[in-house]
Amino acid sequence: SGFVSMLGTGLSKIGPVGKFLGELLVKLGDMVEDGERMAIPQAKGSFKAVGGQAFFIPLYELYLIYGGIFRLTFGPKSFLIVSDPGIAKHILKDNYKAYSKGILAEILDFVMGKGLIPADGEIWRVRRRAIVPALHKKYVAAMINLFGRASFRLCEKLDRASSDGEDVEMESLFSRLTLDVIGKAVFNYDFDSLSLDNGIVEAVYIVLREAEQRSTSPIPTWEIPIWKDLSPRQQKVTKALKLINDILDDLIAICKRMVDEEKLQFHEEYMNEKDPSILHFLLASGDDVSSKQLRDDLMTMLIAGHETSAAVLTWTFYLLSKEPKVMAKLQEEVDSVLGDRFPTIEDMTKLKYTTRVINESLRLYPQPPVLIRRSIEADQLGKYPIKRGEDIFISVWNIHRSPVHWVDAESFNPERWPIDGPNPNEVNQNFSYLPFGGGPRKCVGDMFATFETVVATAMLVRRFNFEMAPGAPSVEMTTGATIHTTEGLKMTVTRRFRPPVIPSLEKKVIKINGDQPLDSCL
Ligand code: HEM
């Protein structure tokens, strides 16, 4: 996924290094008439780019001043910041062939190689065609059970915390929940990270932290030949990557044996009931087991599907804690649709308000907040011609919070989309809402991720009330691959009791004593 914080690394690759922690001067410039061509507005002034600070905040301020496309210049290097839905649509969809992933591919190379997210050109085309069919309807339906089981494990954990009167840090729990889900979903591996801390879980986090570090680090030390081999941090990363790769090799081998033993009849909606994973589909469809490409793609999906969904849940629960009315309405829907059952695929169309809550959370906290591209040929963006080799950041954050496109853009209002209307997406919102990107490189896991977050949210709010813990650190943003909190999301979780049924005609005092606590999510 595209990372705003990569600005830092992008700059360091070309500009004088070390300048970036502290005050960053944006080159002064004016909107100039350049012969007949209009020059792109240049942002002027300065803004702070302190290490770890969320970069998209100053970009939002600049957007309000300079508009839907402007240039930010640092020394010899510049970036185009796009916050206009029409231009975003042009880059992502109408003329997508003129753009590559640029800086993103360079930064993620160490972990994703030529996996589907960073890959460009022919490699991307071939792999997209191989992978998309794996996420067919029947697969996604099977995943609903997996989402339910994993969320149930989290419920049990929260139950223990709530009876012990302990507050919980939800961000890390959501990260573990979605790691458990994506491991099973992609290569049938149970990280079981909600229950235990083992070496492999730690290895995944070492690699993730490294990816984030690289995207915000002013100096690409990992590119310095000797440093690369001697630095303890790099050695740790190399070791972690090796551990994950060894496990991947084992999983691929195990899966290959299963596929060989099947009486295989491969068809469009092929799925192995015992192992519905994407890996199983790919091997059954004839993917080359020995290829580095297969490993790169598995690793890419592991990372793409893990942090994003975790961030969506984190910010959803943060938003819910601030809007008790939305929470009450949400719980009412979940109580009436699910009762005490596990969710099924049929419930996904019935949990309408829950879906709107997720839609709205993704509007306010898009993951990642910025998409990265590089022009590989000359093009025209709005009224401005651009050259080949321009690094472009499409700020989804800006588009999603634009006062031009949204009424009350800053407020968390799931009602903004009619409950019985179509689910909002980039097509029906004309690219003013694009939580999963758009065009040929749109997220392949959009439905998967929506259902995953709907199931987890529904199962958690059915059983518990969530409030910010007393004395919890205030929730601030920082950027990694996705938007993180700076100090976690510390919440007090309490068991809900079955809401009293209020007879509509009789206005009697309701006896609470007789109500039974929900025993389980079942
Ligand atoms: C691409 C968002 C979950 C796999 C993308 C893109 C976005 C996105 C915005 C476009 C990136 C760009 O154009 O530069 C999200 C969000 C998720 C999520 C918000 C969770 C709520 C997942 C899951 C998977 C996944 C669960 C895997 C099962 C991918 C892949 C791509 C992608 C492979 C690259 C597609 C391509 O370039 O052809 N995602 N994603 N994502 N996503 Fe997701």
CA of 301 to the centre of ligand 1 (A): 8
Instruction: List all residues 6 or more positions away from 418 whose beta carbon is below 8 Å from its beta carbon.
Output: none
Is this structure's pTM higher than 0.90?
Answer: no
Q: Which of 1, 116, 399 to mutate to test the pocket of ligand 1 (most atoms within 8 A of CB)?
A: 1
Per-residue pLDDT tens for 94-112? 999 999 999 999 889 999 9
> Is the predicted pLDDT of residue 53 greater than 90, yes or no?
no
Nearest residue (by CA) to ligand 1, atom 38, is 441
What distance lies between CA 339 and its chain's CA centroid? 29
Nearest residue (by CA) to ligand 1, atom 19, is 367
Nearest ligand 1 atom to the CA of 119 is: 37
Q: What is the pLDDT of residue 220?
A: 67
Q: What is the pLDDT of residue 412?
A: 98
- The residue behind tokens 């809550």 is 357
CA of 249 to the centre of ligand 1 (A): 24
Mean pLDDT of 465-492: 92
Q: Binding site, residues?
A: 443
The most distant pair of C-alpha atoms in the chain lies apart, rounded to whole Å, by: 81
Nearest residue (by CA) to ligand 1, atom 28, is 445
Per-residue pLDDT tens for 271-303? 999 999 999 999 999 998 888 999 999 999 999
CA of 514 to the centre of ligand 1 (A): 47
Give the orientation angle of helix 292-304 with respect to helix 307-322, to 10 degrees: 0
Nearest residue (by CA) to ligand 1, atom 10, is 437
Nearest residue (by CA) to ligand 1, atom 23, is 305
Structure token digits, residue 5:
């914080």
Phi-psi region of 67 (alpha: psi -120 to 50; beta: other; left: phi over 0): left
Distance CA 53, CA 66 (A): 22
Phi, psi of 408 (to 5 degrees): 50, 55
Percent of the chain scoring above 70 in pLDDT: 85
Q: Are 454 and 414 a contacting pair, CB within 8 Å?
A: no
CA of 308 to the centre of ligand 1 (A): 8
Q: Provide ipTM, 2 decimals.
A: 0.99
CB atoms within 10 A of CB 478: 17
Q: What is the pLDDT of residue 515?
A: 39
> Is the predicted pLDDT of residue 14 greater than 90, yes or no?
no
Ligand 1 pocket: which residues have CB below 6 Å?
1-2, 116-117, 128, 300-301, 304-305, 308-309, 312, 367, 371, 435-437, 441, 443-445, 448-449
Phi, psi of 373 (to 5 degrees): -145, 160
Q: What is the pLDDT of residue 15?
A: 39
CA distances, 412 to each of 180, 317, 359, 399, 489 (Å): 29, 12, 10, 16, 18
Distance CA 520, CA 459 (A): 10
- The residue behind tokens 């730690």 is 202
Structure token digits, residue 133:
């069919």
Q: Binding site for heme, residues?
A: 443
Mean pLDDT of 410-439: 97
Nearest residue (by CA) to ligand 1, atom 11, is 1
Name the burial class of residue 84, with classes exposed (0-12), middle (13-18) and buried (19+) by CB atoms within 10 angstroms of its CB: buried
What distance lies between CA 511 and its chain's CA centroid? 44
CA of 310 to the centre of ligand 1 (A): 13
Q: Are 19 and 8 a contacting pair, CB within 8 Å?
A: no
Q: What is the pLDDT of residue 8?
A: 42
Query: How many helical (H) and strand (E) elements, i.e. helices and strands, does the chain have?
Result: 18, 16
CA of 393 to the centre of ligand 1 (A): 17
> Is the predicted pLDDT of residue 50 greater than 70, yes or no?
no
Nearest residue (by CA) to ligand 1, atom 3, is 305
Residue 53 DSSP code: B
CA of 448 to the centre of ligand 1 (A): 10
Q: Torsion angle, CA of 357/358/363/364, rounded to 10 degrees?
A: 70
CA of 272 to the centre of ligand 1 (A): 24
Nearest ligand 1 atom to the CA of 297 is: 33
Phi, psi of 195 (to 5 degrees): -100, -40
Q: Torsion angle, CA of 5/296/197/274, rounded to 10 degrees?
A: 130
> Is the predicted pLDDT of residue 3 greater than 60, yes or no?
no
- The residue behind tokens 């009412």 is 332
Nearest residue (by CA) to ligand 1, atom 6, is 443
Nearest residue (by CA) to ligand 1, atom 42, is 443
Distance CA 518, CA 505 (A): 26
CA of 216 to the centre of ligand 1 (A): 21
Pick from 72, 85, 125, 98: nearest CA to 363: 85
Residue 21 DSSP code: S
Q: Are 285 and 266 a contacting pair, CB within 8 Å?
A: yes
Lowest mean pLDDT among 191-200, 355-364, 447-456, 492-501: 492-501
Q: Which of 436, 441, 443, 444 to mutate to test the pocket of ligand 1 (most atoms within 8 A of CB)?
A: 443
Nearest ligand 1 atom to the CA of 306 is: 26
Per-residue pLDDT tens for 122-138? 999 999 999 999 999 99
Q: What is the pLDDT of residue 24?
A: 42
